[in-house]
Amino acid sequence: MTKQLKQPNLRIIPLGGLGEVGRNMTLLEWQEKILIIDMGFRMPEEDMPGVDYIIPNIDYLKNKKEKILGIVFTHGHYDHIGAVPYLLEKISTPNRQLPMFASPLTKGIILKRQEDFSRQAKLKINQVYDGSKIKLGPFFVEFFKQLHNIPDNLGLFIETPLGNILHTSDFKFDQNPVNDLPTNFEKLKEISKRKILLLMSDSTDAEEEGHSLSEKEISENLEKIFKIAPGRIIAATFASLLNRVQQIISISEKYGRKVCLEGYSMRTNVEMSKLLGYIKAKRETFIKAKDVQNHPDSNVVILGTGAQGENEAVLMRITIGGHRFLKIKKGDTVIFSSSVIPGNERTVQIMKDEIMRQGAKIFHYKMMDIHAGGHAKSEELKEMLKIMHPKFFMPIHGQYSMLVAHSQLAKEKGMEEKNVLVAENGNIINLNQKRIFIEKEKVLSNYVMIDGLGIGDVGQVVLRDRQMLAEDGMFVVVVIVDRQTGRVKGSPDIISRGFVYLRESKELLRDTRKRVIGIVERATGTGGAVNWSYIKDEIRNKIGQFLFSRTQRRPMVLPVVIEV
Amino acid sequence: MTKQLKQPNLRIIPLGGLGEVGRNMTLLEWQEKILIIDMGFRMPEEDMPGVDYIIPNIDYLKNKKEKILGIVFTHGHYDHIGAVPYLLEKISTPNRQLPMFASPLTKGIILKRQEDFSRQAKLKINQVYDGSKIKLGPFFVEFFKQLHNIPDNLGLFIETPLGNILHTSDFKFDQNPVNDLPTNFEKLKEISKRKILLLMSDSTDAEEEGHSLSEKEISENLEKIFKIAPGRIIAATFASLLNRVQQIISISEKYGRKVCLEGYSMRTNVEMSKLLGYIKAKRETFIKAKDVQNHPDSNVVILGTGAQGENEAVLMRITIGGHRFLKIKKGDTVIFSSSVIPGNERTVQIMKDEIMRQGAKIFHYKMMDIHAGGHAKSEELKEMLKIMHPKFFMPIHGQYSMLVAHSQLAKEKGMEEKNVLVAENGNIINLNQKRIFIEKEKVLSNYVMIDGLGIGDVGQVVLRDRQMLAEDGMFVVVVIVDRQTGRVKGSPDIISRGFVYLRESKELLRDTRKRVIGIVERATGTGGAVNWSYIKDEIRNKIGQFLFSRTQRRPMVLPVVIEV
């Protein structure tokens, strides 16, 4: 049996990004040669306290280092590149760093981030551009420009031995982008003429009706605010939304305002993008925070991070008086130029209230179109399906409900049910010219959590403990037992945090100590051999029940029994 | 100086509900006689793990029990009645329960809840209706019907010695409500003719443009779903949205479907409302969960709680296979008939994905108008301002940004800046015929947290500890020191939870123990008197730093030093 027969299909294995937003990473495999597309992380869920990021599980690649051809990156957002520092070393060999391909800006962002991981070897990344073609094993990859909300975003046209795959990257269509050329529909049509066997397309906004807003509309609305703002303008957005950042800088220049860039990520991103030519601004536009007071309020824009209410970001620090030079004042106009990420609504509302209390006026995306997402909405997605006219379709990038909505759009466009595949992380998708299907077997694709320096060492046990500790705190009982007499020496020590305010709970503590002594001495007083682990269990259970009966709370009870 | 001169103004003191959504409670004070309006709780913020509810601080009432005239309730939602079991006893005297006034349904809900607090004395509540008039000290209160999303909601027209106050309660205008009469504009106009000195009006939806949807539109859309649903319909909403519950029951009856009520609060609320005549349904409409399987899928509606993705609610249990009789199956249609409360978006998304994976179809309020809020939007609020034509206006019920938006509406309607007052919790608002203003002094209005049986015993210290424990867990070091030699006996014990997976961190633990011994023996080895608290501080700091350097995590380090 030849290998050809053993594996007649192309295999597509999404390790992240399907059924979730973020952590994008997909494998293309042909006869044991593997091409990796993107390597991103995602933010943790609310029930994962202390976790920094979640990255893909690459267990499947463990013994296949030699078979990996390389990594192609679509764009520089962390949900597409953020896992590189954690994963790249694990799949490189000492002699060979995996070949990596990225556009200049994407490369710049990857390398910039790498500086935080100074222990790691310096990366070599090959630059690719709109129109670049590379050969990686059996795959020919042609990169093509796609508009998104960060410059230098590339879609992938991949020739495989079985047919052509089109991977859209994150994208939206825009006839009027900022500092960029409009979507090149002619180019997309030209590509489609080469026949698309499989289209893999961005589903993030598949549940949204209509078209995404053009950046031109956003600009016009932002200008309206610039025209009427009587004092300073404080604009908050993501540092990674480089198109929005450019827009605000350009409008500031147009209206004769200086721009104070605030926040580490905002400053470094803008600096690098300017260096690479992706942000255009006059040198004299920028001023420092400490010099803001030297300019008339009506000539100032403060552009920073923090539109999500992030604790450490600029806008929060300005709002709660934690910034060295800047604070909100009457007459300020605060622009929230980003949508609120699900889960952040409460924090953003509280911050907005606080800003208004201090007398500033607020504009946010629900009041006025001053933010557009970077993702195609349903009408654009249908347009993409129409242009590419693929034989098979597989929605990518998004929560399960978004993938399903996207698959519905394909069916509306006349695609047959059997040619549309809603897959999930860990599925092994088999593709040939006749059909697309999911293998029975799955590869591991669970969350791998990053917490500080730990990669994957925080698992369900640790998380469950954190959740328990958060709910009702903990209660350590230290009891010293005289080995000879079986009597408790002195009074048991109690250390508790997050449970009750100890100073006001003296009676509860006294009763608890009494009970602990009782539990221990009943167990040691039998005359037989002392079962120390039984004593610990008894303390844990009985004291737990006792505390619950008194408080209706369940702190984690941890007994320490010391024999002397 | 007479009292009259000392207090020539009416005082209005909001203890909750201003600058927040929920926890509504307001005091009206005239010459030391106090009338209380509502007594609600709110849900905790995300950074308050383990907290059940937040109630108003009633410190201001502490030594004024004899001066409280009574409590009037507007409606039966917990943000208006939920604090009764925690606060009522504190302001009643042994001989006198405060007079309470509520509509029949509101009374029923208060009494039902009181059953969970069996230790407390049985409450006596006076029933009031649309048109009821009562005299409480210097106040004449006339109740009038207002539409909301729970029946039997009453606005308050209050005659005071200084003029008339109109308190809208939560409300919306609706020409086509469910099983209820439309808004009686004639009545509102009649009231307004008696001259309104101050209007206090619901601001919850003041930031929303236009009109709230009529319940009739909602019904029509729900019917569309009933017409096409091939199998069972699973409808999730709040048990307190009794109007929506009625609607779904009525439509079920119209389409020949049986209704299985699921969830404790849903069942008890419907039972009581049926008993009191607020929900109309045929007895034979209802079936039990265990009998659902005996009916054709197309004849079944499961109506339960859980549209917010609450962990313990019906929909979540059905979704994750935690329900004894019911689970999602292909062909089911799931209706989310409530908006998503800010903060719950992620949980709801994850639950929706899971439901879709199991093959059900989902309808939610973003796809189709199958939910209307219970609050007037800006056009209705302007209408209310126009009808009441008050001299003074004070927005109530809502986040600060909502109060400000509402105040803008009043100014748009021509009210003078000085007659519109945006106040906050704890403000003492003074009102007379000439002006409205806030006193310099404030009363306490901070959060009082309920956690289990504790009222107010969880404060900032306990919460901060819980947050810390949640982030990186805890790390208890138990070290036994020989008093004579100053040497550490045996190996220090380490108890850690929520920090790292201990079994895989043996090296870290070994190095930590070594350091602990070093710290202790350096301190005891000096020959002088041993400073035990210095040793504890050293362990806390040095071991904290050491663990951080190794893991970039900061568990709470708790040293236990035992001398033997």
SS3 B254: helix
Compute the distance between CA of residue B311 and CA of residue B289 in angstroms, rounded to an integer.
Answer: 19
- pLDDT of A456 reads 85
Token pair for A108: 């710049």
C-alpha torsion A240→A246→A247→A249, nearest 10: 120
SS (H, E, C) A502-524: HHHCHHHHHHHHHHHHHHHHHHH
- pLDDT of B526 reads 73
Which parts of chain A have pLDDT scores under 70? 1-7
Tell me: pLDDT of B123 over 80. Answer: yes
A544 touches chain B (CB under 8 A): no
Residues B24-48 have a mean pLDDT of: 95
Put simply, the answer to whether B498 touches A466 (Cβ < 8 Å) is: yes
B271 touches chain A (CB under 8 A): no
Compute the distance between CA of residue B237 and CA of residue B259 in angstroms, rounded to an integer.
Answer: 14
Question: Which segments within A216-338 are labelled E, that is strand?
Answer: 233-236, 258-262, 300-304, 333-336
**Does an H or E element contain A190, and which?**
helix A185-192
Tell me: pLDDT of B5 over 80. Answer: no
B320 touches chain A (CB under 8 A): no
The number of C-alpha atoms within 13 Å of A101 and in the hemisphere containing its C-beta is: 23
Distance from CA of B355 to the nearest CA of A (A): 9
| CB contacts, 8 Å: B353 with chain A | 19, 399-401
Q: What is the pLDDT of residues B528-551, one digit of tens each?
A: 778 889 999 999 999 999 999 999
Q: What residues of chain B, 361 to 380, have a C-beta less than 8 Å from chain A?
A: 362, 366-367
Compute the distance between CA of residue B330 and CA of residue B486 in angstroms, rounded to an integer.
Answer: 71
This model of the complex carries an ipTM of 0.88
Among partner residues B46, B399, B553, which is closest to A452 by beta-carbon distance? B553
Integer-rounded Cα Rg, in Å, for chain B is 29
Contact assessment for residue A166 and residue A131, using Cβ atoms and an 8 Å cutoff: no
Compute the distance between CA of residue B262 and CA of residue B239 in angstroms, rounded to an integer.
Answer: 10
Distance from CA of B286 to the nearest CA of A (A): 32
Distances (CA, A) of B192 to B86, B170, B299: 36, 18, 49
| CB contacts, 8 Å: A502 with chain B | none
Selected residue of A353, A407, A464 to mutate for chain B interface (largest B Cβ count, 10 A):
A353
Distance from CA of A69 to the nearest CA of B (A): 33
Q: What is the pLDDT of residues B387-434, one digit of tens each?
A: 999 999 999 999 999 999 999 999 999 999 999 999 999 999 999 999
Compute the distance between CA of residue A244 and CA of residue A241 in angstroms, rounded to an integer.
Answer: 6
Please, which pLDDT band fits residue B4 given cuts at 50, 70 and 90?
very low
- pLDDT of A7 reads 52
Active site residue A152: no
Q: What is the pLDDT of residues B298-341, one digit of tens each?
A: 999 999 999 998 888 999 999 999 999 999 999 999 999 888 88
Other CB atoms within a 10 A radius of the CB of residue A156 amount to 24
A92 touches chain B (CB under 8 A): no
- pLDDT of B457 reads 84
Q: What residues of chain B, 460 to 489, have a C-beta less than 8 Å from chain A?
A: 461-463, 465-474, 476, 478, 480
Selected residue of B42, B45, B357, B401 to mutate for chain A interface (largest A Cβ count, 10 A):
B401
The number of C-alpha atoms within 13 Å of A563 and in the hemisphere containing its C-beta is: 13
Distance from CA of A67 to the nearest CA of B (A): 30
- Judging by beta carbons within 10 Å of its beta carbon (0-12, 13-18, 19+), is residue B289 exposed, middle or buried? middle
Tell me: pLDDT of B170 over 90. Answer: yes
- pLDDT of A6 reads 52
Q: What average pLDDT does the structure give for chain B?
A: 93
Compute the distance between CA of residue A436 and CA of residue B175 in angstroms, rounded to an integer.
Answer: 54
Residues B348-359 have a mean pLDDT of: 95
Q: Give the CA diameter of chain B.
A: 91
Put simply, the answer to whether B345 touches A343 (Cβ < 8 Å) is: yes
Tell me: pLDDT of B1 over 80. Answer: no
Token pair for B151: 């029946």
The number of C-alpha atoms within 13 Å of A192 and in the hemisphere containing its C-beta is: 17
Active site residue A80: no
DSSP β-ladder status, A436-442 and B556-563:
unpaired
Put simply, the answer to whether B469 touches A472 (Cβ < 8 Å) is: no
Locus of tokens 């104070």: A260
A349 touches chain B (CB under 8 A): yes
Distance from CA of A294 to the nearest CA of B (A): 31
- pLDDT of B456 reads 85
Tell me: pLDDT of B478 over 70. Answer: yes
Question: Which segments within B186-243 are labelled E, that is strand?
Answer: 198-202, 233-236
- Judging by beta carbons within 10 Å of its beta carbon (0-12, 13-18, 19+), is residue B444 exposed, middle or buried? middle
Among partner residues B399, B462, B495, which is closest to A558 by beta-carbon distance? B495
The number of C-alpha atoms within 13 Å of A70 and in the hemisphere containing its C-beta is: 17
B501 touches chain A (CB under 8 A): yes
Compute the distance between CA of residue A366 and CA of residue A560 in angstroms, rounded to an integer.
Answer: 55
In B42-149, alpha helices (H): 78-81, 84-91, 104-114
Put simply, the answer to whether A457 touches B500 (Cβ < 8 Å) is: yes
Distances (CA, A) of A550 to A443, A555, B120, B383: 48, 12, 17, 52
Question: Which segments within A75-150 are labelled E, that is strand?
Answer: 100-102, 126-127, 133-136, 139-145
Put simply, the answer to whether B356 touches A454 (Cβ < 8 Å) is: no
Please, which pLDDT band fits residue B6 given cuts at 50, 70 and 90?
low
Among partner residues B349, B401, B458, which is closest to A342 by beta-carbon distance? B349
Residues B344-365 have a mean pLDDT of: 92
